[in-house]
Structure 1
Amino acid sequence: MGEAHEATPKFHENRFGEVSEEVRLFSAMVVLWGTEQFGQTLNQLFAGKKKEEVVLAARMLSFYTAHKINLEQARSSKAKRKARILVTLDQNTTCSACKKDSDQEYSLERVPELPHPDCQCAIGCRCGAIFVRTGGLFSE
């Protein structure tokens, strides 16, 4: 959780300019309580901002943090692994930055930052990295 309060993903720099304290707070609340639905509780949090933008930025911040944690765990594993980027593809909402990375494989040292810094998907980046073993099923 501390990662989300310190990180400034490139996605946020490119799309929103910064990660506001409201976004950091909302991201932490979503992770802790597992919902984006807080009723009237957050009216002050969204004061002067589009709720959809705050929700998107918070979701992408949580996504960034989870990706970073998963990547660190894969790197610390004894098993040899590589990363494969999976992308939710559809004609209407998947941007070119995400399409370009679909099914690409990377060594763990070269895995790209997710969400993609140049992602322009209206609902946010939906790319994900899966970490697969290299070699045989039972190799170390």
Structure 2
Amino acid sequence: MTQRVSSDTTDTIRATLAQAGATNRPRIEISADDADAFPADELVRLVIDDTEYRARIERPLTGDGRLIRGAYDTPRLARNPSDGDNRLVEWFAGSDRELGQSVLVDVVEEGFQYGLRNPGERAVYAATEKPNDSLADIARQVEDR
């Protein structure tokens, strides 16, 4: 049985939907105050509108926060973003959000699974248990082939 977790019961981080460079593409900027809840340079699961994607948590070029530049269908695509569709861009295009506005990032399982939603919305997540390190290593080796 899959455990369901409500956004009402998670730690929630207020982040900013910012412009990625000179493009009109969005990225999620997480402040330095909240950076500890996000593992730098790691792939995580990111749930957007009830669909789970993979995202890379990055360090910004300056400052101590964290960035999420995209959400992808598979871990391989998250590592090689030019090979796949960025679901964060699709979500942004279909939302009523504008660059510079806040979004909420729910910490479902710190370091492993997060949820993205608009302020004022509620979400329910299928909590995925983090695999132990040896299983995660095997999965990464299989994905890299």
How does the TM-score come out when normalised to structure 1? 0.27
Higher strand share: 2
How does the TM-score come out when normalised to structure 2? 0.27
Higher helix share: 1
